[in-house]
Structure 1
Amino acid sequence: MQIINDLTNLPPIWAPDEETHHVFMDDGYDQMKVGYWADVDGKRTLVAFKYRTSVQMGRHLTAVMGSETGIYIIDGSSYTVSEYVENDATRNKRFAHSDFKIALVHHGLKVAGFGGKNVHIHTTLPISHFFRDGLPDADHINKVKTKFKAEAASADGEQLALIVGHTIQSEAVAAFIAYMLRNGHENVEPIPGAIGVCDIGGNTTDLTVLVPGQQVMINHDLSSSREVGVLNIKDDLKKRIQHRFGFDKIPSATISQALDVKKLTFLKQEHDIGEDVKMSKVDTAKRVLNVIDEILGDQVLHLMLFCGGGTECLKTELAEEYPTFESSDFPEFDNLLGLVRANEAA
């Protein structure tokens, strides 16, 4: 998988005239991750990119040249998708089948070049949203699939993708599939004991325990979700910056950038906020580990695998606090890669 950071330089779709294209999206509260098969130097290559989950109802940005790119009309209402707007999307289960989500999804598909094309989309849900009483929550899953068929248009007049199919996986299960099929393995290997998958996302930490048997099974008594994730880091960092510099309002985009570069620039002056970032991460890492203790208690695991965008952000802090910390090289893309592998195995 090749990760593309410059969204203005995404490679073209592989076999653009195919009847239906498979697109993989790990659609989270803080970041949306998109994967598709692209033509990279004449080779079919899985590429992935990400963008902020920032969407606001209404039309809030106008390009200086008059374009309305980034504005989507979903079921008759307008939504602006940009890291420079304040996110209106609520942090709860309803987000998965909201107009906000559909605007964000179509934005990613449009950026990747799928406008006017048929796509089969593969997405994820936290385990507590995917399952109910040990079974897939058919009502919730159907609500999500139905909403993805909503009438959508781009305000700039460009065609949007037509979603003709939709597959949904539990996030932690997708990450487990990616982990077990690593290094070119074609089949899921037997596991020697219980494995925990801790998926730290934008707003949720999803803990899933998988146990061996004739098939790998989910232990629902030891699996659950809690509302803690990357947004907690940003909320904490925002409070620290407000207190330190006496600010009242700070744009979300400024907080995101400050978290990434550990610096805050205003009025042409650069301020080091490395210690503020570190403490915000440490506090959130401790919250995550408290979640693990709360859900698992003294349960013995063969392995705890950390994944998700929160793991990418908290790698150092988690490794310092959790002696057996283990993750992939790019944990924020584990769920997406699992979706790809699951589709290949289907």
Structure 2
Amino acid sequence: MAKKNEMNENIITVGVDDGFAATDVVVMEGGAITKTMMIQSRARSGIHGTSVIGEAEDDQPVPCYETDGVKFTVGALSDAESARFDDYPFSPMNRTIVNHALRLVGLGGKKLRIATGLPLSVYYQGSDPNAEVIARKDRSIMTPVACIDGSAMPLIVEHKVFPEGLSAWVDYALGDDGRLRADPNESVGVIDIGGRTTDVAVVLPGRRIDHARCGSADIGVLNVVEQVRVALLKRFNVEMSGSQIELGLKTRSIKMWGKVLDIGTEIDEAVAQVTDGVLREVSRRLGQAVDLDRVLLVGGGAHLFRDVEKRYPHVVVPEHPEYANARGFAKYLNL
């Protein structure tokens, strides 16, 4: 049977991990990953324009949109709204950020088959997919988004919703060509640390999901961001935005008053506190994980919460773990 991309050569396959802190995009063309990109999941209601001295760069799309009668400006504005609210996956803000990310990666005007995700505790109702919630997410993503300047938008012709965490196992188990590359007799745990949630999953031999050990907890990178924000307020008496701190997590520094200041101590203290909560949730699901052949550590928090590796000696961190779910989405769609 021919693959979907062979039957629809003009339709591009895209995995979009539309998380509460970041939106990760993976593009597959011709059975291979051709592009990856990440943006902060930040936007603000209304039109908030900026201008460029001289000529604007052609590869910087206008970040102002309208959907369902609501206007948004996408980007790390100083007063951008956080995506840390329960209905974010189904919101106009979410679909606007997703469409902006697709435009940034060069897919404006292209026909797309995309997949997005939901946390495990939202995607499943017991051991069954929650059809109502999945349909709600599908309706939201398929709702039109228009660019204020009339530029061509991505043309989403098909959309699927997959469970986060388990999609990281798909990325691990399948090569870009869709062929199984993992031992089918393995038992694999997945720890997926995202912006707001930490998903834990177990896949048994025969691709069976152990639902009793799967679930989500409301803890992740954004908890670190909040604690660092409070620490910086105490240290400098300055209120820093979440988007500024999120960028500072990577460089362990932040710019104030024209100077680059080290915030490594604040980050380390925040990570240590949040790690305790992450490990409690993981331990509740996996125990000591002695029955598992390996444990995958993925998500945007994989680099930040490295102490998880000390708890489990058979942890595997894939290359670019922040893209694991989006890669899994794209690979599954490409079958």
What TM-score do you get using the length of structure 1 for normalisation?
A: 0.85
Match of 1:240 among 231, 235, 240: 231
Aligned residue type for 2:90: H
Q: CA contact under 8 A between 2:142 and 2:159: conserved in structure 1?
A: no
Q: CA contact under 8 A between 2:41 and 2:83: conserved in structure 1?
A: no
Deviates more, 1:169-178 or 1:30-39: 30-39
Instruction: Report the Cα offset of residue 109 of structure 1.
Output: 1.4
2:296 aligned residue: 305
Instruction: Report the Cα offset of residue 149 of structure 1.
Output: 1.9
1:335 aligned residue: 325
Q: CA contact under 8 A between 2:165 and 2:192: conserved in structure 1?
A: yes
Aligned residue type for 2:236: F
Q: CA contact under 8 A between 2:15 and 2:26: conserved in structure 1?
A: yes
1:169 to 2:157 alignment: no
Give runs of aligned pairs for residues 147-296 of structure 1, distance below 5 A: 147-181=140-174, 186-187=179-180, 189-192=182-185, 194-212=187-205, 215-247=206-238, 249-296=239-286
Aligned residue type for 1:288: V
Q: CA contact under 8 A between 2:63 and 2:75: conserved in structure 1?
A: yes
Aligned residue type for 2:43: V
Q: 1:36–1:182: structure 2 CA closer, same or farther, 3 Å change rule?
A: closer
Name the CA distance, whole Å, in 1 between partners of 2:11 and 2:176: 28
Deviations 1:246-285, CA, capped at 9 Å, x for gaps: 22x2122321232221123222333222121122222222
Name the CA distance, whole Å, in 2 between partners of 1:285 and 1:322: 14
Instruction: Report the Cα offset of residue 94 of structure 1.
Output: 1.8
Aligned residue type for 1:306: L
- The number of residue pairs the alignment matches comes to 324
Aligned residue type for 1:133: G
Q: 1:184–1:22: structure 2 CA closer, same or farther, 3 Å change rule?
A: closer
Deviates more, 1:63-72 or 1:287-296: 63-72
1:125 aligned residue: 118
Q: CA contact under 8 A between 1:23 and 1:121: conserved in structure 2?
A: yes
Q: 1:191–1:282: structure 2 CA closer, same or farther, 3 Å change rule?
A: farther
What TM-score do you get using the length of structure 2 for normalisation?
A: 0.87
Instruction: Report the Cα offset of residue 37 of structure 1.
Output: 3.7
Name the CA distance, whole Å, in 2 between partners of 1:153 and 1:18: 25
Instruction: Report the Cα offset of residue 322 of structure 1.
Output: 4.2
Q: Secondary structure at the match of 2:135?
A: helix
Q: Secondary structure at the match of 2:195?
A: coil
Name the CA distance, whole Å, in 1 between partners of 2:234 and 2:133: 41
Q: 1:129–1:79: structure 2 CA closer, same or farther, 3 Å change rule?
A: same
1:5 aligned residue: none
Tell me, which stretches of 5 or more residues in structure 2 are unaligned? none
Name the CA distance, whole Å, in 2 between partners of 1:103 and 1:183: 28
Q: 1:140–1:159: structure 2 CA closer, same or farther, 3 Å change rule?
A: same
Q: CA contact under 8 A between 1:177 and 1:188: conserved in structure 2?
A: no
1:9 aligned residue: none
Tell me, which stretches of 5 or more residues in structure 1 are unaligned? 1-13
Aligned residue type for 1:313: L
1:27 aligned residue: 18
Q: Secondary structure at the match of 1:329?
A: coil
Aligned residue type for 2:251: V
Q: 1:319–1:133: structure 2 CA closer, same or farther, 3 Å change rule?
A: closer
Aligned residue type for 1:135: D
1:141 aligned residue: 134
Aligned residue type for 2:25: V
Q: CA contact under 8 A between 1:84 and 1:252: conserved in structure 2?
A: no
1:47 to 2:35 alignment: yes
Aligned residue type for 2:247: Q
Name the CA distance, whole Å, in 1 between partners of 2:327 and 2:246: 25
Instruction: Report the Cα offset of residue 34 of structure 1.
Output: 0.7
Q: CA contact under 8 A between 2:43 and 2:93: conserved in structure 1?
A: yes
Instruction: Report the Cα offset of residue 244 of structure 1.
Output: 1.3
Q: 1:190–1:261: structure 2 CA closer, same or farther, 3 Å change rule?
A: closer
Name the CA distance, whole Å, in 1 between partners of 2:82 and 2:236: 28
1:58 to 2:51 alignment: no
